[in-house]
Amino acid sequence: MRRPPLLLRVDRGEGRNYNLFIVIGSLRDKLARTRQAFKQKLGGIFKSGRKREDILDELTEALILADVGVSTTEKLIAGIERATKRSDPAEAVEEALKSELVGILSKYPGRIAFDSAPSVLMMVGVNGGGKTTSLAKLGRRLQNEGKTCLLVAADTFRAAAQEQLAVWGQRLDIPVIKGPYGADPAAVVFDALRHFKAQGFDYMLVDTAGRLHTNTNLMNELEKVKRIIGREIQGAPQEILLVLDASVGQNALHQAREFQKFSGLTGVFLTKLDGTAKGGSVIAIADELALPIKFIGIGEGVEDIMEFSPGQFVEALFA
């Protein structure tokens, strides 16, 4: 069985210990399509001997074509201009770009707020974005850390979503609470909370509906679920993650703006990042949403989940 990323503490024989993060499965490999598309757009912009102003003109167009977005691109170019001089070589401009990218992606802390049990997490987002699978991946991650989890199928308007979560639960040996088709999601969550507290689970992970064509009703429904959770467990839900499909590029931002009408979002879970050439949208998502990217999905396997690292992501883009 494959294992999640490991943190190994290694003594290198120099009188000190070094913390080395050894990630199983290279992020560079997983981001191959994004990196190829990014390099194709940037082309030979950073060739030696070019003037900074010529580089910035071309870089502006290239970043927009790479799904970074107009607003975020303008911020990046302004940051590069502040960090470099007109006489600086192309290499300095490229390093400044990397630094600005890491700065945008690191602006909001991405640490998951699971300091103690019991804790509750809600997954929200449009149907088809990967909420259910992402919830299962997170459950597996917590399970591998020795934690006990309860999965809740609160998307009662799609029988397929409930069945999908039930299948994941059986596969991972994680219990799942679900209600009848068309039931009140808040009622299902309330019943799940009673079971969660009675059985002493560490974490409860709640899958929700994402029917944007009924936007007002959906947001009211999510707020109701959130209130029920907060009433039953003080300080909960500790996390409300917005699941976005990275493969839809800038369209993910339009989805996100709708869900920002729902209060309490704590971060983003980006899915399908391994199979898309539109990974540049990650930068715009982090910048425009003012939310940290906390997890990324990098494959179809249940272990294909990573905590998002701005430095590793930028390095993978330019590798």
Write the DSSP string, 30-66.
HTHHHHHHHHHHHTTTT-TT--HHHHHHHHHHHHHHT
Residue 42: pLDDT band with limits 50, 70, 90: confident
Domain residue extents for the chain: 34-105, 119-313
In CATH, what is the architecture of 34-105?
Answer: Up-down Bundle (1.20)
Predicted confidence (pLDDT) at residue 26 exceeds the cutoff of 90: no
* Best CA proximity match to 244, nearest among 206, 294, 205: 294
Predicted confidence (pLDDT) at residue 11 exceeds the cutoff of 80: no
Distance CA 213, CA 130 (A): 18
Predicted confidence (pLDDT) at residue 196 exceeds the cutoff of 90: yes
**pTM value?**
0.87
Predicted confidence (pLDDT) at residue 223 exceeds the cutoff of 90: yes
Confirm or reject CATH 1.10.3720.10 for domain 119-313, answering yes or no: no
Among the ranges given (109-118, 151-160, 218-227, 309-318), the one the predictor scored with the smallest mean pLDDT: 109-118
Please, which residues have CB within 8 angstroms of residue 251's CB and are 6 or more apart in sequence?
none
